[in-house]
Amino acid sequence: MDIAIMLQGLASLAWLVALGALGFAVFSAARGRRFVGGAATVIVAVVAALLLTGVAAGLVFIQPEELGIVITAIGGGGIRPEPLGPGLHWIVPFAERVERYSILRQTYTMSAVGTEGPVTGDDSIQVRTKDGQQVYIDASVIYSVDPAKVIKLYTTWKKDYENGLVRPQSRGVIRDASSQYGVEEIVTTKRAEMEQSITDQLTKTFADNNLVLVSFVLRNVRFSDEYAKAVEQKQIAEQQALQAKLTVEQKRQEAEQVRQTAQGAADAAVIAAKGAADARVIQADAEAKALTVIAAALKDSPDLLTYTYIQKLSPNVQVMYLPSGQPLLLPLPGGSSGAGSSGSSLTPSLVVPTPAPTTTP
Protein backbone atom coordinates (compact mmCIF):
# COMPACT_ATOMS: atom_id res chain seq x y z
CA MET A 1 0.00 0.00 0.00
CA ASP A 2 1.24 3.54 -0.78
CA ILE A 3 2.49 5.03 2.50
CA ALA A 4 1.52 8.53 1.39
CA ILE A 5 -2.06 7.40 0.87
CA MET A 6 -2.06 5.71 4.27
CA LEU A 7 -0.83 8.90 5.95
CA GLN A 8 -3.48 10.89 4.12
CA GLY A 9 -6.05 8.46 5.49
CA LEU A 10 -4.75 8.93 9.04
CA ALA A 11 -4.75 12.67 8.59
CA SER A 12 -8.37 12.56 7.46
CA LEU A 13 -9.24 10.43 10.47
CA ALA A 14 -7.49 12.91 12.79
CA TRP A 15 -9.45 15.78 11.28
CA LEU A 16 -12.65 13.85 11.82
CA VAL A 17 -11.72 13.28 15.46
CA ALA A 18 -10.88 16.96 15.91
CA LEU A 19 -14.12 18.09 14.29
CA GLY A 20 -16.06 15.52 16.31
CA ALA A 21 -14.48 16.69 19.57
CA LEU A 22 -15.11 20.33 18.70
CA GLY A 23 -18.71 19.60 17.79
CA PHE A 24 -19.28 17.66 21.00
CA ALA A 25 -17.76 20.49 23.05
CA VAL A 26 -20.03 23.04 21.39
CA PHE A 27 -23.04 20.81 21.87
CA SER A 28 -22.26 20.29 25.55
CA ALA A 29 -21.79 24.01 26.11
CA ALA A 30 -25.10 24.74 24.46
CA ARG A 31 -26.83 22.28 26.80
CA GLY A 32 -25.13 23.81 29.84
CA ARG A 33 -23.00 20.78 30.37
CA ARG A 34 -19.30 20.80 30.92
CA PHE A 35 -17.10 18.75 28.57
CA VAL A 36 -14.15 17.77 30.71
CA GLY A 37 -10.92 17.90 28.76
CA GLY A 38 -12.78 18.93 25.63
CA ALA A 39 -10.43 21.77 24.76
CA ALA A 40 -7.35 19.59 25.16
CA THR A 41 -8.89 16.86 23.04
CA VAL A 42 -9.71 19.25 20.27
CA ILE A 43 -6.24 20.80 20.32
CA VAL A 44 -4.51 17.41 20.26
CA ALA A 45 -6.72 16.17 17.44
CA VAL A 46 -6.13 19.32 15.39
CA VAL A 47 -2.36 19.20 15.91
CA ALA A 48 -2.27 15.51 14.98
CA ALA A 49 -4.36 16.17 11.89
CA LEU A 50 -2.07 19.04 10.83
CA LEU A 51 1.06 16.96 11.33
CA LEU A 52 -0.33 13.97 9.48
CA THR A 53 -1.60 16.16 6.68
CA GLY A 54 1.80 17.84 6.31
CA VAL A 55 3.68 14.56 6.31
CA ALA A 56 1.24 13.01 3.86
CA ALA A 57 1.60 16.03 1.58
CA GLY A 58 5.39 15.78 1.66
CA LEU A 59 5.79 12.05 1.08
CA VAL A 60 5.49 10.80 -2.49
CA PHE A 61 5.75 7.19 -3.57
CA ILE A 62 6.66 6.67 -7.25
CA GLN A 63 5.64 3.32 -8.73
CA PRO A 64 8.27 1.18 -10.53
CA GLU A 65 6.71 1.97 -13.93
CA GLU A 66 6.61 5.74 -13.33
CA LEU A 67 8.76 8.85 -13.21
CA GLY A 68 7.80 11.94 -11.22
CA ILE A 69 8.05 15.53 -12.46
CA VAL A 70 8.30 17.90 -9.46
CA ILE A 71 6.55 21.23 -9.99
CA THR A 72 7.89 23.63 -7.38
CA ALA A 73 6.95 27.10 -6.18
CA ILE A 74 10.29 27.58 -4.46
CA GLY A 75 12.84 29.93 -5.97
CA GLY A 76 10.48 31.67 -8.32
CA GLY A 77 8.73 28.47 -9.45
CA GLY A 78 9.53 25.96 -12.13
CA ILE A 79 10.44 22.30 -12.49
CA ARG A 80 13.12 20.35 -10.71
CA PRO A 81 15.89 19.50 -13.20
CA GLU A 82 15.80 15.79 -12.36
CA PRO A 83 12.72 13.54 -12.27
CA LEU A 84 11.88 11.36 -9.30
CA GLY A 85 12.59 7.71 -9.87
CA PRO A 86 10.65 4.74 -8.43
CA GLY A 87 10.46 4.71 -4.62
CA LEU A 88 9.58 6.96 -1.67
CA HIS A 89 10.54 10.65 -1.90
CA TRP A 90 10.10 13.83 0.15
CA ILE A 91 8.90 17.09 -1.33
CA VAL A 92 8.10 20.40 0.32
CA PRO A 93 4.49 20.13 1.48
CA PHE A 94 2.09 22.51 -0.24
CA ALA A 95 4.99 24.16 -2.09
CA GLU A 96 5.66 21.34 -4.52
CA ARG A 97 3.59 18.81 -6.36
CA VAL A 98 4.39 15.80 -8.56
CA GLU A 99 3.19 14.98 -12.09
CA ARG A 100 3.53 11.26 -12.77
CA TYR A 101 4.71 9.98 -16.18
CA SER A 102 4.31 6.32 -17.19
CA ILE A 103 7.45 4.83 -18.75
CA LEU A 104 5.61 1.70 -19.90
CA ARG A 105 5.26 0.95 -23.59
CA GLN A 106 2.13 2.43 -25.10
CA THR A 107 0.29 1.54 -28.31
CA TYR A 108 -1.56 3.97 -30.51
CA THR A 109 -3.74 2.24 -33.12
CA MET A 110 -5.33 3.79 -36.20
CA SER A 111 -7.81 1.35 -37.71
CA ALA A 112 -11.02 1.12 -39.69
CA VAL A 113 -12.45 -0.89 -36.78
CA GLY A 114 -13.65 1.69 -34.31
CA THR A 115 -13.09 -0.46 -31.21
CA GLU A 116 -9.39 -1.04 -31.88
CA GLY A 117 -8.11 2.50 -31.30
CA PRO A 118 -8.81 5.56 -29.14
CA VAL A 119 -10.85 7.19 -31.94
CA THR A 120 -14.36 5.89 -32.44
CA GLY A 121 -15.26 4.98 -36.02
CA ASP A 122 -13.06 4.58 -39.07
CA ASP A 123 -9.64 5.98 -38.15
CA SER A 124 -7.64 4.39 -40.97
CA ILE A 125 -5.16 6.53 -42.93
CA GLN A 126 -6.20 7.52 -46.45
CA VAL A 127 -3.23 7.46 -48.83
CA ARG A 128 -2.88 8.42 -52.48
CA THR A 129 -0.30 6.14 -54.07
CA LYS A 130 2.28 7.01 -56.72
CA ASP A 131 -0.01 5.73 -59.48
CA GLY A 132 -2.98 7.73 -58.23
CA GLN A 133 -4.90 4.98 -56.44
CA GLN A 134 -6.65 5.52 -53.12
CA VAL A 135 -5.76 3.04 -50.37
CA TYR A 136 -6.61 2.84 -46.68
CA ILE A 137 -3.93 1.78 -44.21
CA ASP A 138 -4.44 0.40 -40.69
CA ALA A 139 -1.39 0.78 -38.47
CA SER A 140 -0.20 0.69 -34.86
CA VAL A 141 2.64 2.67 -33.29
CA ILE A 142 4.29 1.22 -30.19
CA TYR A 143 6.36 3.75 -28.26
CA SER A 144 7.49 4.84 -24.80
CA VAL A 145 8.67 7.96 -22.97
CA ASP A 146 12.42 8.52 -23.03
CA PRO A 147 13.36 8.54 -19.30
CA ALA A 148 16.38 10.74 -19.97
CA LYS A 149 14.23 13.39 -21.67
CA VAL A 150 11.06 13.28 -19.62
CA ILE A 151 11.57 16.84 -18.31
CA LYS A 152 11.80 18.21 -21.86
CA LEU A 153 8.74 16.16 -22.88
CA TYR A 154 6.73 17.62 -20.01
CA THR A 155 7.92 21.13 -20.77
CA THR A 156 6.92 20.77 -24.43
CA TRP A 157 3.77 18.63 -24.36
CA LYS A 158 2.74 18.20 -20.73
CA LYS A 159 0.66 15.00 -20.98
CA ASP A 160 -0.91 15.66 -24.35
CA TYR A 161 1.92 14.15 -26.39
CA GLU A 162 -0.29 11.35 -27.73
CA ASN A 163 -2.79 13.60 -29.47
CA GLY A 164 -0.34 16.41 -30.14
CA LEU A 165 2.63 14.39 -31.37
CA VAL A 166 2.14 10.64 -31.81
CA ARG A 167 -1.06 10.74 -33.86
CA PRO A 168 -0.34 13.58 -36.33
CA GLN A 169 3.31 12.68 -36.89
CA SER A 170 2.49 9.01 -37.47
CA ARG A 171 -0.26 9.74 -39.97
CA GLY A 172 1.87 12.28 -41.83
CA VAL A 173 4.89 9.99 -42.11
CA ILE A 174 2.73 7.07 -43.28
CA ARG A 175 1.13 9.22 -45.99
CA ASP A 176 4.47 10.60 -47.21
CA ALA A 177 6.16 7.19 -47.34
CA SER A 178 3.21 5.41 -48.98
CA SER A 179 2.93 8.01 -51.75
CA GLN A 180 6.36 6.91 -53.02
CA TYR A 181 5.06 3.48 -54.05
CA GLY A 182 2.52 2.10 -56.50
CA VAL A 183 -0.53 0.30 -55.21
CA GLU A 184 0.67 -3.14 -56.31
CA GLU A 185 4.09 -2.52 -54.75
CA ILE A 186 2.48 -1.66 -51.41
CA VAL A 187 0.62 -4.97 -51.19
CA THR A 188 3.27 -7.21 -52.78
CA THR A 189 6.95 -6.66 -53.51
CA LYS A 190 7.62 -3.37 -51.69
CA ARG A 191 5.46 -3.71 -48.57
CA ALA A 192 8.35 -4.64 -46.27
CA GLU A 193 10.50 -1.88 -47.76
CA MET A 194 7.77 0.71 -47.19
CA GLU A 195 7.22 -0.49 -43.62
CA GLN A 196 10.94 -0.15 -42.90
CA SER A 197 10.99 3.35 -44.41
CA ILE A 198 8.12 4.43 -42.15
CA THR A 199 9.86 2.90 -39.14
CA ASP A 200 13.09 4.79 -39.84
CA GLN A 201 11.32 8.14 -40.26
CA LEU A 202 9.17 7.70 -37.14
CA THR A 203 12.21 6.67 -35.11
CA LYS A 204 13.93 9.96 -35.95
CA THR A 205 10.78 12.06 -35.44
CA PHE A 206 10.03 10.53 -32.05
CA ALA A 207 13.63 10.86 -30.89
CA ASP A 208 13.58 14.57 -31.79
CA ASN A 209 10.48 14.92 -29.61
CA ASN A 210 11.73 13.01 -26.53
CA LEU A 211 9.96 9.70 -27.29
CA VAL A 212 11.29 6.25 -28.18
CA LEU A 213 9.73 4.29 -31.06
CA VAL A 214 9.61 0.62 -30.12
CA SER A 215 7.88 -0.73 -33.25
CA PHE A 216 5.71 0.24 -36.19
CA VAL A 217 3.13 -2.32 -37.33
CA LEU A 218 1.50 -2.07 -40.76
CA ARG A 219 -1.69 -3.92 -39.94
CA ASN A 220 -3.70 -3.83 -43.14
CA VAL A 221 -3.97 -2.20 -46.57
CA ARG A 222 -7.41 -1.82 -48.16
CA PHE A 223 -8.37 -0.62 -51.65
CA SER A 224 -11.27 1.42 -52.92
CA ASP A 225 -14.26 -0.64 -54.03
CA GLU A 226 -13.58 0.12 -57.71
CA TYR A 227 -9.95 -0.94 -57.56
CA ALA A 228 -10.75 -4.03 -55.49
CA LYS A 229 -13.25 -5.09 -58.16
CA ALA A 230 -10.68 -4.49 -60.91
CA VAL A 231 -8.09 -6.53 -59.01
CA GLU A 232 -10.60 -9.35 -58.56
CA GLN A 233 -11.38 -9.38 -62.28
CA LYS A 234 -7.68 -9.37 -63.10
CA GLN A 235 -7.07 -12.30 -60.78
CA ILE A 236 -9.96 -14.20 -62.37
CA ALA A 237 -8.51 -13.56 -65.84
CA GLU A 238 -5.06 -14.68 -64.67
CA GLN A 239 -6.55 -17.83 -63.20
CA GLN A 240 -8.39 -18.57 -66.44
CA ALA A 241 -5.22 -17.98 -68.45
CA LEU A 242 -3.31 -20.26 -66.11
CA GLN A 243 -5.99 -22.92 -66.43
CA ALA A 244 -5.82 -22.67 -70.23
CA LYS A 245 -2.05 -22.95 -70.08
CA LEU A 246 -2.33 -26.03 -67.89
CA THR A 247 -4.84 -27.55 -70.32
CA VAL A 248 -2.47 -26.94 -73.25
CA GLU A 249 0.38 -28.45 -71.29
CA GLN A 250 -1.77 -31.46 -70.42
CA LYS A 251 -2.66 -31.97 -74.09
CA ARG A 252 0.98 -31.62 -75.05
CA GLN A 253 1.97 -34.22 -72.49
CA GLU A 254 -0.75 -36.56 -73.73
CA ALA A 255 0.47 -36.11 -77.32
CA GLU A 256 4.02 -36.70 -76.19
CA GLN A 257 2.90 -39.84 -74.39
CA VAL A 258 1.21 -41.11 -77.58
CA ARG A 259 4.32 -40.27 -79.57
CA GLN A 260 6.54 -42.06 -77.07
CA THR A 261 4.24 -45.10 -77.19
CA ALA A 262 4.34 -45.16 -80.99
CA GLN A 263 8.09 -44.68 -80.95
CA GLY A 264 8.40 -47.54 -78.50
CA ALA A 265 6.27 -49.80 -80.69
CA ALA A 266 8.34 -48.84 -83.75
CA ASP A 267 11.57 -49.46 -81.88
CA ALA A 268 10.22 -52.82 -80.72
CA ALA A 269 9.29 -53.75 -84.30
CA VAL A 270 12.74 -52.76 -85.51
CA ILE A 271 14.36 -54.77 -82.75
CA ALA A 272 12.11 -57.78 -83.55
CA ALA A 273 12.88 -57.53 -87.28
CA LYS A 274 16.59 -57.22 -86.57
CA GLY A 275 16.36 -60.28 -84.28
CA ALA A 276 14.52 -62.26 -86.96
CA ALA A 277 17.07 -61.24 -89.58
CA ASP A 278 19.95 -62.17 -87.29
CA ALA A 279 18.25 -65.52 -86.58
CA ARG A 280 17.79 -66.13 -90.33
CA VAL A 281 21.43 -65.36 -90.99
CA ILE A 282 22.48 -67.73 -88.24
CA GLN A 283 20.14 -70.40 -89.63
CA ALA A 284 21.43 -69.92 -93.16
CA ASP A 285 25.00 -70.10 -91.92
CA ALA A 286 24.20 -73.34 -90.10
CA GLU A 287 22.52 -74.80 -93.19
CA ALA A 288 25.48 -73.83 -95.33
CA LYS A 289 27.84 -75.54 -92.91
CA ALA A 290 25.60 -78.61 -92.87
CA LEU A 291 25.60 -78.77 -96.68
CA THR A 292 29.36 -78.50 -96.64
CA VAL A 293 29.58 -81.45 -94.30
CA ILE A 294 27.08 -83.46 -96.42
CA ALA A 295 28.96 -82.68 -99.61
CA ALA A 296 32.18 -83.88 -98.02
CA ALA A 297 30.49 -87.10 -96.85
CA LEU A 298 29.01 -87.81 -100.29
CA LYS A 299 32.39 -87.26 -101.88
CA ASP A 300 33.92 -89.92 -99.68
CA SER A 301 30.91 -92.36 -99.82
CA PRO A 302 28.88 -92.07 -103.06
CA ASP A 303 26.53 -94.94 -102.00
CA LEU A 304 25.38 -92.86 -99.05
CA LEU A 305 23.10 -90.90 -101.35
CA THR A 306 21.44 -94.12 -102.52
CA TYR A 307 20.99 -95.27 -98.96
CA THR A 308 19.40 -92.01 -97.97
CA TYR A 309 17.14 -92.17 -101.01
CA ILE A 310 15.95 -95.65 -99.98
CA GLN A 311 15.28 -94.44 -96.43
CA LYS A 312 13.10 -91.63 -97.65
CA LEU A 313 10.81 -94.04 -99.59
CA SER A 314 7.42 -94.63 -98.01
CA PRO A 315 7.36 -97.74 -95.76
CA ASN A 316 4.22 -98.94 -97.56
CA VAL A 317 5.92 -99.19 -100.96
CA GLN A 318 6.57 -102.91 -101.77
CA VAL A 319 7.33 -103.03 -105.50
CA MET A 320 8.35 -100.28 -107.83
CA TYR A 321 8.63 -100.79 -111.55
CA LEU A 322 11.27 -98.86 -113.25
CA PRO A 323 12.07 -98.47 -116.90
CA SER A 324 14.82 -100.63 -118.29
CA GLY A 325 18.20 -99.53 -117.54
CA GLN A 326 17.13 -98.34 -114.03
CA PRO A 327 18.05 -100.01 -110.74
CA LEU A 328 16.24 -103.25 -109.85
CA LEU A 329 13.81 -103.69 -106.95
CA LEU A 330 14.63 -106.50 -104.55
CA PRO A 331 12.34 -107.89 -101.87
CA LEU A 332 13.18 -106.59 -98.40
CA PRO A 333 13.74 -109.18 -95.70
CA GLY A 334 10.71 -110.16 -93.63
CA GLY A 335 8.22 -109.90 -96.53
CA SER A 336 5.71 -112.77 -97.33
CA SER A 337 5.80 -114.85 -100.58
CA GLY A 338 3.06 -115.58 -103.09
CA ALA A 339 2.61 -112.22 -104.68
CA GLY A 340 -0.47 -113.28 -106.59
CA SER A 341 -2.37 -114.89 -103.67
CA SER A 342 -5.74 -113.50 -102.78
CA GLY A 343 -5.78 -111.12 -99.75
CA SER A 344 -2.00 -111.09 -99.45
CA SER A 345 -0.13 -107.76 -99.25
CA LEU A 346 2.76 -106.81 -101.46
CA THR A 347 6.21 -107.65 -100.21
CA PRO A 348 8.49 -104.70 -99.51
CA SER A 349 11.31 -104.55 -102.03
CA LEU A 350 14.73 -103.02 -102.12
CA VAL A 351 15.84 -100.97 -105.01
CA VAL A 352 19.16 -102.23 -106.23
CA PRO A 353 20.95 -100.28 -108.83
CA THR A 354 22.00 -102.28 -111.83
CA PRO A 355 24.84 -101.44 -114.05
CA ALA A 356 24.06 -100.14 -117.42
CA PRO A 357 24.34 -102.81 -120.25
CA THR A 358 27.65 -102.80 -121.92
CA THR A 359 28.28 -103.59 -125.61
CA THR A 360 31.01 -106.03 -126.45
CA PRO A 361 32.88 -105.09 -129.55
pLDDT tops 90 at residue 175: yes
* Residue pair 82/98 in contact by the 8 Å Cβ criterion: no
pLDDT tops 70 at residue 330: no
The pLDDT value recorded for residue 343 is 42
Least confident of 137-151, 188-202, 297-311, 331-345: 331-345
pLDDT tops 90 at residue 197: yes
CA distance 80 to 69: 7
- Region 192-212: mean pLDDT is 95
Burial of 58 (0-12, 13-18, 19+ CB in 10 A): middle
- Region 153-174: mean pLDDT is 93
* Residue pair 54/7 in contact by the 8 Å Cβ criterion: no
For residue 35, name the pLDDT band (cuts at 50, 70, 90): low
- Region 241-262: mean pLDDT is 88
The pLDDT value recorded for residue 314 is 53
CATH number for the region 106-223 comes to 3.30.479.30
For residue 323, name the pLDDT band (cuts at 50, 70, 90): low
- Region 288-311: mean pLDDT is 76
One-letter amino acid of 152: K
3-state secondary structure of 164: helix
The pLDDT value recorded for residue 339 is 41
Who contacts 277 (Cβ-Cβ below 8 Å, separation ≥6)? none
For the chain, the domains span 3-102, 106-223
3-state secondary structure of 343: coil
pLDDT tops 70 at residue 169: yes
The pLDDT value recorded for residue 322 is 54
Higher confidence at residue 79 or residue 42? 79
CA distance 84 to 12: 26
The pLDDT value recorded for residue 147 is 93
Least confident of 13-17, 258-262, 317-321: 317-321
pTM of the model: 0.57
Among residues 203, 86, 95, 99, which one has the least CA distance to residue 151?
99
* Residue pair 58/92 in contact by the 8 Å Cβ criterion: yes
pLDDT tops 90 at residue 266: no
Average of per-residue pLDDT values in the chain = 81
% of the chain exceeding 70 in pLDDT: 81
How close are the terminal C-alpha atoms of the chain, in Å?
170
CA distance 340 to 354: 26
pLDDT tops 80 at residue 356: no
Among residues 207, 140, 190, 129, which one has the least CA distance to residue 170?
140
Higher confidence at residue 314 or residue 8? 8
Q: Specify which residues 188 forms β-bridges with.
A: none
